[in-house]
Amino acid sequence: MLGRIFTVGGYTLLSRLTGFARDIMLAAILGAGPVADAFFVALRLPNHFRAIFAEGAFNAAWVPAYAHVHGERGEGAARLFADRIFTLLLASQVVLLIVAWLFMPQAMSILAPGFSEDAEQRKLAIELTRITFPYLLLITLVTLYGGMLNVMQRFASAAAASIFLNVAMMMTLALAVWFPTAGHAAAWGVLISGFMQYFLLAGDLARHGGLPRFAPLKLDEDVRSFFKALGPATLGSMGTQIALFADTIIATFLPAGALSALYYADRLNQLPIGVIGIAIGTVLLPEMSKRITANDHDGAMKAQRRAFDFTLLFSIPFVAAFLAVPDEIMRALFARGAFSKADAVAAGGTLAAYAIGLIPFVLIRSAVATFYARKDTATPVRASLSGIAVNVALKLALMGSLAQIGLALATAVGVWTNLLLVLFFAVRRGFLVLDRAWLMSLGKFLLTGIILVVAFWQIARFGGSALGGMRFHDEVTLVLLAAAGTIVYALAILVLFGRSWLVSLVRG
């Protein structure tokens, strides 16, 4: 399990690092103005639907269902099941793509109503979204193939696929002078990456299991069971995306640059979410599904508790850094070219607000795995919708006084609500036991985080006074923060937890 986590996390980390290189190019070329805001809307629309129909609801229902059929009735039954789901999935995505192309102006009026006052920006956003939207169809098939490979204990290609998004966008951005705008270059990069990811996953699956094929549609027991799980999961994912839609809609009414500040802050916030939270959750779901199918409920619970510990161990440094030195991070990474230091400060405040909810963001995928592995997608929906209600209400309350920072803060409070409810439901049903030892571990993690926050703050003060006249002051300060922070964190973990805890965590 640990080896698979590091496989997924390693490729995801490489994806995030190439993503930072991509975002540095985006910041330098697009900046934080009207063209950038139009592109980020064009990127968000297919991503919202992807999160609903692909990586969110579909993956939560598909992996346990496919694992169950594969484990209970063998490869032949699993292949037929995959063929039928593939046929339904492809047909629904083609219909959605046609509808989106035809009604994109109406969709833009809903998604970005603030653009209505600027006809040119609205026209650009519609044009760019029509370019990026087919990416959804391709990435949905990538999710289907990736789920099948994960059940086969093959995680590498699915984890590496998103690297192509960054590579393709950097290639097209480098050729931006040949496009009408830099926004067009970035949009075409998104679409090209969809084809690259599709062929990577299709090739891996063709070699090791065989690609799904068209099959006559038949609502047998397996398909009905899948859709029974997919329905609640879709509602839950849709609720999350409604909150993100609210971010986009509200930000279009805020001053220019608000959407861009949200984007760059979220990109950094997504680093630990992807490398840690999603990587561990991706490995944990098929692991728990397999154990529960074998009636090893104690083993499933131990796997989940171990996943929680790994998640917190790797996440605490990010939370501390994003809370203590967000401006220094943003200036070092993005403040160049068309992205000013004022833009970096706006994005830094947004990053700090997101960081308040980072712990539940990275834990939620592992927390809901205990329900998804039992094909219960309804219970997490109840928690998710409650969190969304809190989230949206706070967005409306805080947008006036705090602008995009208020939107990020509302997101943080909403995801805390979601996680606490999921844990409450899991404990009440006996799926999870929060004993004294684990609560003591949480207290130690909290203390470690406080120590690291103080250390980061002091190091940043030193960098500001001692390195202020240096040409690459911000970049050198960030390297110093990373190096010194690693040493402080390692010492704090060893002192508070002890070497034996680390050994037992690794060995299981």
CA distance 365 to 270: 13
Give the mean pLDDT of the chain.
83
Q: What pLDDT is recorded for position 318?
A: 94
Q: Which residues contact 372 (CB under 8 A, 6 or more apart)?
A: 60, 61, 63, 64, 233, 285, 289, 380
465 — pLDDT class (breaks 50, 70, 90): low
CA distance 84 to 214: 7
For residues 258 and 65, the answer to whether their CB atoms sit within 8 Å is no
CA distance 352 to 268: 11
Higher model confidence: residue 414 or residue 254? 414
Q: What pLDDT is recorded for position 422?
A: 92
> By mean pLDDT, which of 167-171, 270-274, 312-316 is the weakest?
270-274
Q: What pLDDT is recorded for position 283?
A: 78
Averaged pLDDT, 380-405: 85
Q: What pLDDT is recorded for position 171?
A: 94
For residues 279 and 271, the answer to whether their CB atoms sit within 8 Å is no
Averaged pLDDT, 435-456: 90
User: Within 10 A of 208 (CB to CB), how many other CB atoms are there?
Assistant: 12
Whether 151 shows a pLDDT value over 80: the answer reads no
* Burial (Cβ within 10 Å: 0-12, 13-18, ≥19) of residue 297: middle
Q: What pLDDT is recorded for position 239?
A: 60
54 — pLDDT class (breaks 50, 70, 90): low
Whether 31 shows a pLDDT value over 60: the answer reads yes
Q: What pLDDT is recorded for position 508?
A: 62
Q: Which helix (H) or strand (E) covers residue 428, if one does?
A: helix 378-428
Q: What pLDDT is recorded for position 186?
A: 92
Q: Which residues contact 114 (CB under 8 A, 6 or more apart)?
A: 249, 251, 252, 253, 254
> By mean pLDDT, which of 49-63, 112-126, 309-323 is the weakest?
49-63
Averaged pLDDT, 466-473: 68
Averaged pLDDT, 140-151: 84
Question: What percent of the chain is modeled with pLDDT above 70?
Answer: 91
pLDDT single digits (tens) 372-383? 888 787 888 889
Whether 233 shows a pLDDT value over 80: the answer reads no
> Cα 418–392–429 angle (5° rounding)?
20
**Does pTM surpass 0.85?**
no
Which of 107-116, 270-279, 350-359 reaches the highest mean pLDDT? 350-359
CA distance 185 to 424: 47
Question: What percent of the chain is modeled with pLDDT above 90?
Answer: 24
Higher model confidence: residue 263 or residue 357? 357
Averaged pLDDT, 38-56: 71
